[in-house]
Amino acid sequence: MLWVTFAFILLFYFPLSWNISFPYQFWIKQSVILLTLVTVFYLNSYALVPKLLLKNKNLAFILCIVVITAATGQFIKFTDEALDLPALMTKAFTEKGIIRPPRKGDKIDLMLLMMTLLMVGISTSVTLIQKWQLDKQEREALEKEKIGSELSFLKAQINPHFFFNTLNNIYALTHVDVETSRKALHKLSRMMRYLLYDTQAGITPLSKELSFIVDYIELMKLRLNDMTTVEFNPPVILHDPQIAPMLFLPYVENAFKHGVSTLEPSVISINIELKEKALSMTVKNTIFNANAVTADEYGGIGLSNTKRRLDLLYPGRHEFTANKSNNTNEFIVHLTLILDDTELHSR
């Protein structure tokens, strides 16, 4: 479009507006000007901008532009004289009855200067925009690769942490009730199947994640006595959004780790709600003096890694709090995710 526009201006619009019969040498000169501007455009785009301007050699870039502009003017002037165009144009104007043809020399030089600088400006702008777009794509690709690597590493840490605790629980259960421990192993195998096959894509339906949490809770209940009450309130799922897997488990796991006592009554409450785009989870557990911890210590590796995953997967789209409530003697963890339209309608 750029070259078609300039070709029209140089070869047709301005000359034809003069309403005279031009010699063929004039059209040769116009074609030479067009080819010269094309050369200046691509010379600047592929040589001067990448090798000078983008490498902060600004003074050298400016000097080259000045030299090229001056050389372009001299080259066109030489072409003008080689074609004997001034005399031929004077003759063309005289034949049209114009005794004093307008002096176009200075104006043509000024126009050529302006057009040369315009080509340099457009070429520089286009090249810088292309470079910026390419850099942006490379940064996004590197960021995605970095996030993918970090998520794989964090997930690899979370899963062994969970299995370490669960296998210890099952081991203790085998000394008490073999049949119950068999059921526990079956639930654990189903949970492992979920982790091995349903979480590899990095996202999973909310319904499957909730089923995983239910299995975990049922597994934990097998070792609890009547002193502990577990409440789980799942959401009403009208649509099944996609979420990152294993986000909720560390909070549930920590509630069982810190909120259970064999001597005193304890309550673990897990509430998950889905309202439009907001998916929220609240986990509460009773605090015991022996298990009292600060929010920063709460959860160890599993919780800290989950916080990192939230920053990577839901930047600016999540809220997280973890604190003690002295009034109710509870530790309360609250997490809210704001899902986007892709996650809500990806099924």
- pLDDT value, residue 149: 65
Question: Do 55 and 66 contact (CB within 8 A), yes or no?
Answer: no
Q: Which residues of 90-121 are buried (b: 16+ CB within 10 A; e: fewer)?
A: eebbeeeeeeebeeeeeebeeebeebbeebbe
The residue whose two tokens read 């063309």 is: 92
- pLDDT bracket for residue 285 (50, 70, 90): very high
How distant is the alpha carbon of residue 188 from its chain centre?
A: 36
Q: How many residues does the chain have?
A: 347
CA atoms of 295 and 185, how far apart (whole Å): 32
When pLDDT is averaged across residues 225-245 and rounded to a whole number, the result is 89
Mean residue pLDDT across the chain: 81
256 pLDDT more than 80: yes
- Residue with tokens 């998916």, as numbered in its chain: 279
Largest distance between two CA atoms of the chain: 120
Q: Tens digits of per-residue pLDDT, 158-210?
A: 556 667 777 887 888 788 888 888 888 888 888 888 877 877 777 889 999 99
Task: Answer yes or no: pTM beyond 0.85.
Answer: no
Tokens 């073999």 correspond to: 178
Indicate if the pLDDT at residue 347 is higher than 70: no
Top-confidence residue, 260 or 344: 260
Contact (CB, 8 A) for 340 and 317 = yes
* Short-list 174, 200, 202, 201, CA closest to 188: 174
Q: Residue 137 is encoded by which pair of tokens?
A: 């794509």
How confident is the model over 10-39, as a mean pLDDT? 78
CA-nearest of 280, 281, 288, 290 to 324 is 288
Q: Which residues contact 307 (CB under 8 A, 6 or more apart)?
A: 320
What would the two tokens of residue 342 be? 């892709």
pLDDT computed for residue 30 by the predictor: 81
Domains of the chain with CATH codes: 2-137 (no CATH), 176-344 (3.30.565.10)
287 token code pair: 């605090």
What does the alpha-carbon distance between residue 184 and residue 220 come to, in Å, rounded to a whole number? 9
Q: Which residues contact 328 (CB under 8 A, 6 or more apart)?
A: 284
CA gap 305, 113 in Å, rounded:
62
Q: Averaged over 25-53, what is the pLDDT?
A: 88
Q: What tokens were used for 284?
A: 């509460």
